[in-house]
Every structure is written in C-alpha cells, then in structure tokens.
Amino acid sequence: MVVRIPMSVKGNLKLKEELHRLERVDRIEVVRAIEVARGHGDLSENAEYHAAKERQGHIEGRILELKDKLSRAEVIDCTKVPTKRVVFGTVVRLMDLDSNEEVTYQLLGPEESDVKQGSISVLSPLGKSLIGKEVGDDVTAKTPGGTREFEVIDITAPDIS
C-alpha cells in the first residue's frame, strides 16, 4: 500500500525545484570536484576526494528521497479548501488556554512545515488534534513538551498574495 504524502501546490513546486537543482547543478559540480581531486594523486590520503565522495552520497540520497516523496505526493490546492472545519491547508487561529496568547498556523505536509514561518505538519500532535475541529471547539494536544489546550478562534483559507 502506497502511503500518500499531503502537500500544497507551493510545497510540491519547491521540492521539484530542489530536485532539479540537485540533478542539474549540484550533481555535475560534485562529479567535477571528484575528477579534480583524483588528479591530485593518491586517493587513500586525499581529503578533498573523500569530502567530494561524501557530498556525492548526500546528494544522491536526497535525490532518491525527493523522487520518492514526489511520487507519493497528494497535491492539494490550499486556496480551495473548505473552511467550515480544520483540514489540510487551512489557516487556524488558536487561543492558547494556558497563556491566553493567540497563535496562527497553517496545516501543511511534513516536508513543508516550519513553525517559525507559521506552519505546522498535519501529522504533528497538534496538527492531528486540530483536524475536523470547528470554530469554538477546544483542542487538547499531547505534545513532547506536555499536554496543551487551545480553542479554535478562526479557520480561513491561506492568503496567496
């Protein structure tokens, strides 16, 4: 069974751009670096050669990872998601019931979530506990830092401007 990876249109494009750069630029550069390092002689004591080979391994690994994720991507246009309930792509404004502070997050896929940019993974503890909630609902999330309680204040589609 193939496990689909939820992803926004923007997130999908970002991964495709990274894959293109890795395949068309970084891969070629590291091959050249390996060739230059080989020209320096004895490979057993050639730190430049070993560093380039290690970088090549990282690049090839990331290429395989990106191809896998893109092949399993379920691309969702976040501007067209319903906003009656919290679903993938919605922007949710929450009241932290412990601190009385408002926080706003967009629920995105694990590959594109970034708390500092205001997005969390739909698969995170908070993301999972928000799915299906409506405005006014209380949410309890068991996070690594302990149990947190929130109230859903607003649910909107993302602003694409």
- Token output for 110: 């694990």
Of the pLDDT bands very low, low, confident and very high (cuts 50, 70, 90), residue 160 is low
This prediction has a pTM of 0.82
- Most confident region among 26-30, 34-38, 96-100, 107-111 by mean pLDDT: 26-30
Q: Which fold has domain 78-156?
A: Chitinase A; domain 3 (3.10.50)
Domain ranges in the chain are 5-76, 78-156
The whole-chain average pLDDT of the chain stands at: 92
Q: How far is CA 62 from CA 27, 34, 58, 121, in A?
A: 11, 19, 6, 20
d(CA 55, CA 111): 22
Let me know how many helices (H) and strands (E) the chain has, helices first.
4, 7
Beta carbons of 154 and 98 less than 8 angstroms apart: no
Q: Which long-range contacts (CB under 8 A, 24 or more apart) does 135-144 make?
A: 138/97, 139/94
| pLDDT on residue 39 | 85
pLDDT at position 46 is 83
The CATH topology of domain 5-76 is Helix Hairpins (1.10.287)
How many Å is the Cα radius of gyration of the chain?
A: 21
Could you tell me what percent of the chain has a pLDDT over 70?
99
